[in-house]
Amino acid sequence: MRYYRIKTTTNILALIIMTIILGCGQTATQDKKSNTQVDSIKSIDTKKQLTKEKRQKQIEEKNRTDSLRLDMALKDAFKIAQAEFKKNEFTKQYEFQPDDSLYIINIEIVIGRIFNDQIKYFLLRRQVPWATYLNLYKINGNKTEKLIEREQDGMTYIRDTIFDVNGDGYKDFLVHWYPNSGCCRRDIYNVYLNQPEKGNFTQDYEFINPTFSAKEKIIRGVEYGHPGEVGLYKYKWNGLQVDTVEFIYPDVNNKGQFIKTKKAAYRPTEKEGVVLKAVPKEYQKIESYEWFANF
């Protein structure tokens, strides 16, 4: 009986020791597996970081190279233009392609009194697949003074043009462009007002879907938005300031009725403005009017 008890005690102790050993072994395996997973995650994160940094360096290098190529094109255009500064008028269009470039830079040079004043100007356009670069200079003998510098991103550039926008008798510089994305009509003009008495141009004013009336010193246009909700606007030049005159919106609660407000609004009601039974005739011939009326 005594022997049996000793044997039983020995067996229990052996079982406990085996359990502890197996438990330690399993814990060690789990710890090893957990450490392996952590190391693997760290490795993936490191690779992602390296890939991100590499990509960023590639982008920076590409931008640097493109900038150098555009600068080469600028210098080449200046070399050609300076030889023609004494002429009353000169135009030239050509293609420029650096030896290390896969794309062509289209260049256009315009020299003359293009704003119909006493100043001779040099207008330079450089077009690449991703942008249009515009530079306007005033010519003083064989030297130039930069007046306007503009980069128009993407394939948004439509044209640049020259006419009197604000009715002061001086021709202004306008850049016409259209964004690559958006739900609704968005014909945009950036206007640089000519100030020949100061020998420069103002910073640009931006208008969406505008129609300019220099005689009235008025800009009429259509806001950005969906037909049936979008409004008409009317601004007036006040020197170098643009004053808001009014907005006209469809009355969403009464078809064929309109609401005139002093401030831009969204779906205004009769309480927020003056009720109109028809759109004033002055708006009915502006560009993009069909976008407003088509609801």
Q: How confident is the model at residue 26 (pLDDT cuts 50, 70, 90)?
A: low
Q: What is the distance between the alpha carbons of residues 76 and 67, in angstroms, rounded to a whole number?
A: 14
- Report the domain count for the chain: 1
| Tokens at 87, concatenated | 């002429």
The domain of 61 spans 41-158
pLDDT at 179 over 80: yes
Q: 56 vs 47, 60, 67, 284, CA distance in Å? A: 14, 6, 16, 51
Q: What's the whole-model pTM score?
A: 0.80
Alpha-carbon gap, residue 76 to 107, rounded angstroms = 10
Would you say residue 7 has pLDDT above 70?
no
Residue 121 falls inside a structural domain: yes
Residue 54 has what pLDDT?
Answer: 75
pLDDT at position 9 is: 52
pLDDT band at 4; cut points 50, 70, 90? very low
| Three-state SS letters, 143-203 | EEEEEEEEEEEHHHEEEEEEECCCCCCCCEEEEEECCCCCCCCCCEEEEECEECCCCEECC
| Residue 62 in domain | yes
Asked, for residue 238, whether it belongs to a domain, the answer is no
- For the CA atoms of 175, 79, 129, 69, the dihedral, rounded to the nearest 10 degrees, stands at -130
Structure tokens belonging to residue 32:
């090893």
Positive/negative CA dihedral, 283, 284, 289, 293: positive
The SS3 of residue 124 is: strand
Residues 34-81 have pLDDT tens digits of 566 666 665 666 666 668 777 777 777 777 888 889 999 999 999 999
Structure-block tokens of residue 147: 């007046």
- Burial letters 202-236, b for 16+ CB under 10 A, else e: eebbebbbbbbbbeebbbbbbbbbeeeebbbbbbb
Residue 264 lies in a domain: no
Where is pLDDT greater, at 65 or 23?
Answer: 65
Q: Is residue 86 part of a domain?
A: yes
Let me know if residue 145 belongs to a domain.
yes
Whole-number average pLDDT of the chain? 87
> Is pLDDT at 30 greater than 70 in this prediction?
no
Among candidates 145, 144, 146, 125, which has minimal Cα distance to 134?
Answer: 125
Which residue would you say has higher pLDDT here, 120 or 54?
120
Q: How far is CA 10 from CA 6, 181, 270, in A?
A: 6, 83, 98
The rounded distance, in Å, linking the Cα atoms of 84 and 233 is: 45
- Written as six digits, the tokens of 113 are 């009194």
User: How far is residue 273's CA from residue 253's CA, in Å, rounded to a whole number?
Assistant: 14
Q: Is 223 a member of any domain?
A: no
Q: Is residue 75 part of a domain?
A: yes
